[in-house]
Structure 1
Amino acid sequence: MFTGIVEELGEVTAVENLGDASRFRLRGPVVTEGAKHGDSIAVNGVCLTVVEHDGDEFTADVMAETLDRSSLGALVPGSKVNLERPTAVGARLGGHIVQGHVDSVGTVLDRKPSENWEIIKISLPEELARYVVEKGSITVDGVSLTVVDAGPDYFTISLIPTTLALTTLGVKQPGDPVNLEVDVIAKYVERLLGARADAPAGAAAVAEEAGR
């Protein structure tokens, strides 16, 4: 599990085409400290497994499914990426619960700079709109953010100078893709309420009694 608090801005140093997958080599001195084979590291919000670790670089294999459902397929050597290690049990939850399982790819639609922050508007697939609410949480390229405005097919976020300087969101321009992960709690609540609504009257009554 991750929290969406990016630890460092890393860099893709190499991409190897494996046919039905790709092997990425990435540089990140912070996240590679103490890293070993099999560890997880979130790259732009996608949970990847460390294959090899050498100095301040590590490699990770990305299967076709992940390349198709995320923006990782657009990465090339020199691309900057947000990196985060999993949170430790008992550690502070600085952002929100992030699984590293991208739900969809959005597109930066607009960005409006001001003196101390920027407002970025991002497209939102219709099937995810019900999970995104004003002042709720969403993960964009692995960054835990608060939704400012939630529309039927878009949402906006406000970025402080620290986020602009230390993550890829500082340089994303209109037309650029971003990985989106909605709040998993909202999805669980929807599933549970749906199951309860579909249950026979007797079963619903038993469930309600059991919950008292």
Structure 2
Amino acid sequence: MCQLAEVSEREEGCKKPWLLRKPLVMVMSTKSSSRVMKTTVEGTEAALGKMKPDKATGLDDLAPDLWKSKLWHPAEWLAKLFNQVVKEKKVLERWHNSTTISIWKKKGSPADCSNYRPIPLLSHSMRIFERLLDRRIPKIVKLSDNQCGIVFGCGTIDAIHAVHLLVKKHREKQRPVHIAFLDLEKASDRVPREVIWLAMLKLITAGFPGSLQGGEFMML
């Protein structure tokens, strides 16, 4: 049986020049506040509404259907839990752990470990907390207009349409156009965690609103 190879690779002796680069995010004009915005029952219910049923459970064996049950009021209980987590600046111990399974990408040899995608089975209560934090970030951080990946409301179709218009306009004016396509293998798995830490620290230095301070650092 094939064992999943270690995905993350570390290069010894690397000077890590990317630590000196500025993060590609801009902080919107927002008044900084030391008061942490509390999680509301309404916001928790909205996050629960976006959860998909019949998903695999994490180490706590709590399915998403349990949190969406109408037999009790999970949103109120979760809101109290999340507010306590932020107040104490300490997440639940089980949120740090997960069970990782390997899924074949349906291409290449099944005996080759590189043809498998590692999927962590996380606690759904943590996913709800992450979703609540994720809804606050776009209010203070604006990504580049050129980015389509991992941006709400944007997708592959938008990028294809933009390239189509670009080529069409250059052909009409009989001008050359140069397009580069880059496909990074295991791109998400190789994101340097230090870059995320540096970006967060610079955001706080620039006046990161208190409504988000603590939550993201606890999850990193």
Same-fold status (TM-score > 0.5): no
Report which of the two structures shows the higher radius of gyration computed on alpha carbons.
2
Name the structure where helix makes up a greater proportion of residues: 2
Name the structure where strand makes up a greater proportion of residues: 1
| TM score, norm. by length of structure 2 | 0.22
